[in-house]
């Protein structure tokens, strides 16, 4: 289950890309049909989350995300597998 803070940040990122109020984003909403995000938008969302939460997200796993809940579960799964910092140069 996603921690409240993580979920809040994910929802904020979704709201920013979908150009909707965060309060109108619900877990069951589909990124494409309900929030107007195509494949490009979905990747931009994950990129934003990756920067926000300082985690690496693999591209291959990102393509099966359909709903807001899917996005939260995916992020949480990555964190559970071992949170890694974005490489610093």
Partner 1 sequence: MFPRFEPEVADDDARALLAEVRRFMRTVDAKAADDASGFPPAVLDTARSLGLFALTIPSAHGGLGLSLETACVVIDTIATVDRSLAITIGLHAGLGTRAVVELATSAVQDVWLPRLAAGTCVGAFAATESGAGSDLMAVRTTLAPSGDELVLDGEKSFVTNGGFAGVFTVLARSPALGGERAHSLVLVPADSAGVVVGREEKKLGIRASSTTTVRFDGVRVPRAHVLGTPGRGMDHAHDVLAWGRTLMAAGCVGTVRAALGATLGHVTTRRQFGRTIGSQPASREHVATMASKLCAMDALVRYVARQTDPRMLGALSPIAKVFCSEEAFAVCDQAVQLHGALGFLEPFGVARMLRDCRVTRIFEGANDVLLVRLGLARATAKESWSGAAMGAPSGARDLAARLDGVVDRLRARYGVNLVRHQTILQHLARAEMYLSAACATWSRGFTTFDATLVQLAVEDLLTRAGHHLDAIGPAEAREDRVLAITERLYGTPAADARPANTEVSP
Q: Is 67 helix (H, G, I), strand (E, B) or coil?
A: strand
Task: Report in angstroms how near the CB of residue 74 gets to partner 1 at its nearest.
Answer: 11
Contact between 63 and partner 1 (CB under 8 A)? Answer: yes
* Widest Cα–Cα separation across the chain: 39
Phi-psi region of 82 (alpha: psi -120 to 50; beta: other; left: phi over 0): left
- Return the H-helix or E-strand segment holding 12: helix 4-18
Among 15, 27, 44, 76, binds partner 1 (CB under 8 A): 44
- Binding to partner 1, residues 6-35 (CB under 8 A): 18, 29-30, 32-35
| Interaction site with partner 1 (CB under 8 A) | 18, 29-30, 32-41, 43-44, 46-47, 50-51, 56-60, 62-63, 87, 89
């Amino acid at each position: 289950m996603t921690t409240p803070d993580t979920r809040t940040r994910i929802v904020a990122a979704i709201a920013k890309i979908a150009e909707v109020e965060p309060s109108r984003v619900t877990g069951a909403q589909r990124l494409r049909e309900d929030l107007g995000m195509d494949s490009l938008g979905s990747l931009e969302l994950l990129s934003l989350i990756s920067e926000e939460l300082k985690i690496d997200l693999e591209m291959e796993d990102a393509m099966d995300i359909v709903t807001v809940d899917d996005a939260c579960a995916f992020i949480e799964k990555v964190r559970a597998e071992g949170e890694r910092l974005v490489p610093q140069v």
